[in-house]
Chain A
Amino acid sequence: AQSVTQPDIHITVSEGASLELRCNYSYGATPYLFWYVQSPGQGLQLLLKYFSGDTLVQGIKGFEAEFKRSQSSFNLRKPSVHWSDAAEYFCAVGAGNTGFQKLVFGTGTRLLVSP
């Protein structure tokens, strides 16, 4: 069965510092991978996705993620964090056939940004 691990429940980063959020997945085939962000009281917004091709994926709001098959990882990065990036971040792996895909989500990482 597919699974996603986000080992960090909370992370605090100073404004302007770099950020890396960890995500490890378990899936037998080539995965479809996603990062979503959720601001308080809101739904989830897609930051970026990996289906195939270039393993470094660019997303919205200056985020990027790198797919490393050997490490079963899809870590999210941002070179300089802004206070507005404080939110909860979810990694997800696509599971299922190509007709439709269920997503399996990690438990999330809450990002706090200090002044």
Chain B
Amino acid sequence: DVKVTQSSRYLVKRTGEKVFLECVQDMDHENMFWYRQDPGLGLRLIYFSYDVKMKEKGDIPEGYSVSREKKERFSLILESASTNQTSMYLCASSSQRGEQFFGPGTRLTVL
């Protein structure tokens, strides 16, 4: 079974802190994705990566950056956390066929 793990299930940070969300997949997938999920808005794509060291902006990249130094790991970085970044963050990975497998999510609260 494909497994996508995220470093934390719940995280509480203060405004202005630098926040790292880690995601690891064990299926040698080329593609990895970061979404945020908010009530009534569904899932919105923040960034994705189709290869090591490659990244592309999604629909809402402002305030975020990413890092992919190894194929299995994709990190989301909030350079200076703000309260409007309080959300559920979901990581996913996929093979070429496009079927995405999701991690359990990180619920981030920024105070």
Residues of chain A whose beta carbon lies under 8 Å from any beta carbon of chain B:
9, 32, 34, 36, 41-46, 49, 51, 90, 94, 96, 98-103, 105-108
Contacts and interface: CB of A to CB of B under 8 A. Distances in A.
A88 to B, nearest CB: 10
B84 interface: no
Q: Assign chain B's interface to a size class.
A: 20 to 34
A32 B30 CA distance: 18
A36 B102 CA distance: 10
What are the 4 tightest A-B residue pairs by CB atom distance, in nearest-first order? A101-B98, A43-B102, A107-B42, A44-B102
A36 B99 CA distance: 11
A46 B101 contact: yes
A102 B45 contact: yes
Contacts of A105: 42-43
Contacts of A101: 31, 94, 97-98
Interface string B71-107: 0000000000000000000101010111111111101
